[in-house]
A and B are shown apart, each in its own frame.
Chain A
Amino acid sequence: MSDHTERATVLVLRRIRRKLVVGLLARAAAWALVVFIACLAGGTIASIAGASAGWVVASAGAGILLALGVFLQQVRTLPTLFETARLVDHRFALKNRLSAALEAWPTSSVVGRALQRDADRHAETVDARAAFDWSRSALRVGVALVIAVSAYAGGLITLNLVGSRSDTAVADASLAAVDTSRPEEVAELADELRLEGTRDGDDYLKALADEADEVAQSLSAEPRSPAARERLRQLVRNLDSAYASGAISRDFAATLAARPSEVNSDATTDSASTAAANRAEDEGSDTTASSASSEADGSDVEASRPQAGQIGFDMQPSASDAPPARQAADREFVHPEALSGEDAREALRQAGAAPPQNLVGAAEQSSAGDSRLAGEGTSELNGDADTTAEALGSNAMELSGKLRDEGRHIEIDVTGNVGTGPGEPRASVSSWRAATEAAVENRPLGAWYRPIASRYFLPDQDLPGPSSRRSTPMMLGGPS
């Protein structure tokens, strides 16, 4: 047996295997890259959604590990020469010629040698380039790469847009508006926030509304107060970040920035000087130069809305208990759902610890229930000196007092909004307003159901005559 026969078959198979290995490794590398980019994109998206930056690092690490795994798995399963022969046999319908010849070598039998020659002849006809066309595979990998890179780039662009929006827009528009906002505008913002919060049942918005109320009060008292301005600035930042993360659906910060303000337009210089004064105040410089304009602004302020402290109860210490600047700067509202379990428990514990000061009671037009009070409604609890509310644990309160004998037991979920900041209590329960009670309707039966219902529920008041009430008398014991 000549070496030529053996070499021809094996050389062809080696050439094909080399091509296969290169293609498979390239494909593995490409898929590994796709996996890495996908992991990185996931981490980036998570960070956009509000997760910490550690997510990006973790996802990058996971991506590297996964990519390595994909690559190593492919390397581990690279075809051997015999597997290549099987592949070629299958691809070219060679009826197991090459694999059998490869295994039968060396052979001393006549048939075995004939097989080597036969395999050699068939191997030379194999066009490896045409057989293992990687273009389709490369196309698939390319498309996956393009999608992954595009998704990642899109994510980055989105992140930049959000970042620029939350930074630049707020800084340029909303924060500029903060420096010139009048107390009435802030109070209107508070009303809008409260209205939206009440409608959506969002305690977070209500808490922001309370904060806005307090800021409006502070501004009413002292229009140029740097602490109040800083609190307003923080409020605007909170609104903006909440809108950016999707926690709220409306851009209140932009609304504040776009709010038409005569004062803003009339007193451009004033606003500029106010901003300058604020910056100077923050830096601890003298603000004497701006005090005059501050007084002028303060003269315009009129408390044309209910005082924020009159409704709702605030379990935080009053603003005067903490240094104003620090309180304004550090106070950051956190949505209750974003709190960890321990934080939430601590917040609720603090919320239940202090007795409520005021309470808004049931709707005046309540007519539910069959009691003497039905239809009469209840007296407004707010401001009722005889009515007290007692906290029962962390999330229940009982109303008692001189409210008739029946009294009412109202359970109030006090999972309020929580403010966190160093050195101050972490709980701030927003004001509670009763929602409109569900109306109890007495809808008449539909025409289709009346004849049916009237046979079994007497008396029938819907049908005119007794003949149509029960067409078939009930027969007990069968027909007589």
Chain B
Amino acid sequence: MTRTDAATSETPDRSDLDSTLATLALARAQLGRVVVGQDPAIEQLFTGLLSAGHVLIEGAPGLGKTLLVRSLASVCGLGFSRIQFTPDLMPADITGAVVLSYDDTGHPRPRFQPGPIFGQLVLADEINRATPKTQSALLEAMQEKTVTVAGEAHRLGEPFFVLATQNPYEMEGTYVLPEAQIDRFLFKVTITYPDAVMLDAILDQTTTSTIELPEPVMSPQSILDAQRHAREVPVSSDVRGAVVRLVLSTLPDAKDASEKVRRFVRFGVSPRGGQALLLGAKARALLDGRFNASIDDVEAMLLPALRHRMSLTYEAVVDGVDAEDLLRELFEAHART
């Protein structure tokens, strides 16, 4: 193949990639215009979207979690559905149920009525308020992307993206997600309080008669393309080795585990955590317009990917040891070489 031929054959692919990158940049800008002062959260949400993973959003009430998710769905042009989790919510309320309906001839026939889970972007608001039984129904759908009702499996549409929120303060009457279930979330994004400048911008923007709404700039297909491109991003063995060292360093039972990890870590990061970290690094690189994941990308996705996967001991809680600080220490010691 001559160079000219190769260049000609590359053009459609390259233009496809370039348009994906341009669309992503535009979508970020659109979302950032609506949700002020949450750029890190926006970046992590898009990273989760490109990684085809689900995101758990944690933050105090009133910080714009629901607005963020709703705006994201709008920007991405995804079918949005919202489930408000309450203690009396049943699994069928999420997955749907078989109901009797009458056909054209007037005969009753069983028919599957899809639940809100059959959306493209599902907001599971205050997920920790539902019972574990209901939670597990959602989590099964998240993992398998299928829903089985009355012995019949129903495939969820693509892209399928669950954004669950939980309030870290009001723990009374809640059902804390078990580690096995929380591990299903690719990232855990924390929404922080905006600073004074951002708060001023929020107040100025949201207290007028004209509230700016985001315009859809992406389509489900463009999101799927972006997800495919994100998985193609090359990673050098150097960066992959850093992720491996980091994940292994969190295991308290490892032979060369540090004294701090032995004392304060109940169980470390699973291989799924390593996958999440590397996939997040790839997606972030693509989101940033680069074609390879660097160690900086790994560092940027360290906390969203691993903060909810490392369980600390009671001694760590008593001593005030924070999982995020510990992860940063381990990254500097084992990955940043």
Q: Which residues of A contact B (CB under 8 A)?
A: 1-4, 86, 95-97, 99-104, 107, 109-115, 118
Contact = CB atoms under 8 A, between A and B. Distances in A.
A96 B14 contact: no
Contacts of A97: 290, 292, 294
Given A96-B238, A100-B234, A110 B14 contact: yes
A103 to B, nearest CB: 5
Given A95-B290, A95-B294, A103 B13 contact: no
Contacts of A3: 3
B89 interface: no
B100 interface: no
B44 to A, nearest CB: 19
B3 A4 contact: yes
Given A96-B236, A103-B236, A112-B232, A2 B294 contact: no
A118 B6 contact: no
Given A110-B16, A111-B286, A103 B234 contact: yes
A99 B234 CA distance: 10
Contacts of A103: 234, 236-237
A104 B13 CA distance: 18
B9 to A, nearest CB: 10
Contacts of B294: 95-97, 100
Closest 7 CB pairs of A and B: A100-B292, A95-B294, A115-B291, A104-B234, A100-B236, A111-B232, A109-B232
B56 interface: no
Given A96-B239, A110-B16, A112-B232, A104 B292 contact: yes
A109 B13 CA distance: 9
A114 B15 CA distance: 11
Contacts of A95: 290, 292, 294-297
A114 B230 CA distance: 13
A478 to B, nearest CB: 51
Nearest to A83: B238
Interface residues of B, number: 26
Contacts of A96: 236, 238-239, 292-295
A111 B3 contact: no
Interface string B199-225: 000000000000000000000000000
A86 B242 CA distance: 13
A118 B296 CA distance: 18
B267 to A, nearest CB: 30
B329 interface: no
Interface string B8-51: 00100110110000000000000000000000000000000000
A96 to B, nearest CB: 4
- For B7, B13, B234, B235, the residue with the greatest tally of chain A CB atoms inside 10 Å of its CB is B234
A87 to B, nearest CB: 11
A223 B120 CA distance: 124
Nearest to B13: A110
Nearest to B9: A1
B17 A110 contact: yes
B234 A111 contact: yes
Contacts of A99: 236-238
Contact of A114 (B3, B6, B7, B17): B17
B336 to A, nearest CB: 11
5 contacts: A96-B236, A109-B232, A111-B291, A112-B232, A118-B290
A204 B76 CA distance: 100
A115 B291 CA distance: 5
Nearest to A107: B234
B188 interface: no
B6 A110 contact: no
B229 interface: yes
A92 to B, nearest CB: 13
Nearest to A113: B10
B233 interface: yes
Given A103-B237, A110-B17, 15 more contacts: A2-B6, A97-B294, A99-B236, A99-B238, A100-B236, A107-B234, A109-B234, A110-B13, A111-B232, A111-B286, A111-B291, A112-B234, A115-B291, A115-B292, A118-B292
Contacts of B293: 96, 100
A3 B292 CA distance: 20
Contacts of A110: 10, 13-14, 16-17, 229, 232
A99 B240 CA distance: 12
A113 B232 CA distance: 10
Nearest to A108: B232
B297 to A, nearest CB: 8
A1 B6 CA distance: 6
B214 to A, nearest CB: 27
A95 B235 CA distance: 11
B52 to A, nearest CB: 16
A119 to B, nearest CB: 8
Contacts of B14: 110, 113-114
A310 B232 CA distance: 105
B234 to A, nearest CB: 4
Interface in B256-293: 286, 290-293
A142 B114 CA distance: 80
A111 B233 contact: yes
A249 to B, nearest CB: 56
A2 B3 CA distance: 5
A369 B290 CA distance: 96
Contact of B238 (A1, A86, A115): A86
Contacts of B291: 111-112, 114-115, 118
Nearest to B225: A110
Contacts of B235: 100
Given A1-B10, A2-B3, A111 B238 contact: no
A4 B233 CA distance: 21
Nearest to A112: B234
A110 B226 CA distance: 12
Contacts of B297: 95
Contacts of A113: 10, 13-14
Contacts of A114: 14, 17, 291
- For A86, A95, A101, the residue with the greatest tally of chain B CB atoms inside 10 Å of its CB is A95
A30 B238 CA distance: 32
Nearest to B291: A115
Nearest to A1: B6
A96 B233 CA distance: 12
Contacts of A1: 6, 10
